[in-house]
Structure 1
Amino acid sequence: MRTLLRVGVTGAVAAATALTCGTTAQATPPGPGVTARLISQVTVGGTDYTVREITVPPGQATGWHYHGGPVYGYVKQGTLSHYHSDCASDGVYPKGTVVREPGGPSDVHLGRNLGDTPLVLEVLYVLPHGSAFSEDVPNPGCDFE
């Protein structure tokens, strides 16, 4: 249970969850080298519970996005710098910490790896059955991606 809770608390990443969605010409896809690996997935009722490991190389970002439901992440390695659509940092999450993203289009965010080691996140997605992990959106006007 402790491991599941640790895996379940996010950040974001959540932001790194933009990996599985299509992008439009104006959306901001994840940076080069951002990868995701499926760890487990189960559907209970109308809800998908999926755990993925997201890796963000140094100097890269997840792309601007939001999720269709809550996302929880655990920083396994590196440091996550997390930003909301007002361009302000809403947290810096070092190894061993957790971050939660509530989901929905009002929670547009971006995760960045500003460090010199890969950022590795264990992420739990709690989404309506069949939903994409995230929805890419255009940069809200910030001077960074």
Structure 2
Amino acid sequence: MKLRKILVVLAAAPALVGVPAAVSATPGSGVTGVILAQGESDEGIVIRGRGTTDVVVREITIQPGGSTGWHYHDGQLIAVVKQGTLTRTMDDCSTEVTPAGESFVEPRGRNHVHIGRNLGTEPVILMVTYVLPDGKPLSQDAPKPPNCTSS
């Protein structure tokens, strides 16, 4: 049975080559991340009353001129800017600037699309805690909102 599933996947793979993505995401550049800690919670922090919650602590570095690309999170995140100044553009085209030593909270959901950019001359280093529904990725790529003219 397992071999059959593998063969079906291999047979279908050529059909997927060249298929455009349903969403034209804007890729990030100059960004690296290292997971420092992760765990699960089945008590206390439960998102929408379903199952367990993944908690991930990650250090993210954005090089000068780099950006995260437009994205959103399926869970809430809390971030502290350890170094540099982060400039975020939100889905309503507003801009938020967060210097070293300050923090911010990003709400969850596809209606909270944003991009983080390093417009400075030194790397931006973020310490980020993600609180996500079990099994969800750290972020989801999204297209740039049509009403925003800046990248």
Pair in the same fold by TM > 0.5? yes
* CA deviation after TM superposition for structure 1 residue 24, in Å: 6.4
Q: CA deviation at 1:137?
A: 0.5
Cα gap change, 1:70 to 1:133, in 2 (>3 Å): same
Counterpart CA distance in 2 for 1:56 and 1:128 is 26
Superposed displacement of residue 60, structure 1? 1.2
Gaps of 5+ in 2: 1-20, 43-51
2:78 aligned counterpart, secondary structure: strand
Work out the CA distance in 2 between the residues paired with 1:124 and 1:29. Answer: 22
Runs ≥4 residues deviating over 6 A: none
Shift of 1:93: 0.5
Where does residue 20 of structure 1 map in the other structure?
none
Greater RCO between the two (CA within 8 Å, min separation 6)? Answer: 1
Percentage of identical aligned residues: 47
Cα drift, residue 86 of structure 1: 1.9
Q: How big is each residue's C-alpha offset from its partner over 1:1-28, in whole Å with a ceiling of 9 and x where there is no partner?
A: xxxxxxxxxxxxxxxxxxxxxx867101
Assess, with a 3 A threshold, how the Cα gap between structure 1 residues 120 and 110 changes in structure 2: closer, same or farther.
same
Aligned residue pairs total 121
Judged with a 3 Å threshold, the aligned counterparts in structure 2 of structure 1 residues 53 and 102 are, in CA distance, closer, same or farther, namely same
- Say which SS state the counterpart of residue 144 (structure 1) adopts: coil
TM-score (norm 1): 0.79
Pick from 97, 106, 119: which aligns with 1:114? Answer: 119
Distance in structure 1 (CA, Å) of the matches to 2:123 and 2:22 = 27
Is 1:134 matched up with 2:102? no
Is it true that 1:40 corresponds to 2:37 in the alignment? yes
Is 1:67–2:65 an aligned residue pair?
A: no
CA distance in 2, matches of 1:94, 1:134: 22
Q: Shift of residue 144 of structure 1?
A: 3.0
Q: CA RMSD in A?
A: 1.4
Paired with 1:27 and 1:93, the residues of 2 have a C-alpha distance of 24
What is the distance in 1 between the residues matched to 2:88 and 2:23? 24
Is 2:130 the partner of 1:125? yes
Task: Give TM-score, length-normalised by structure 2.
Answer: 0.76
Which runs of 5 or more structure 1 residues have no equivalent in the other structure? 1-22
**Matching of residues 1-145 of structure 1 within 5 Å:** 26-31=24-29, 33-45=30-42, 46-89=52-95, 91-141=96-146, 142-145=148-151
State whether residues 75 and 107 of structure 2, in contact with CA within 8 Å, keep that contact through their aligned partners in structure 1: yes
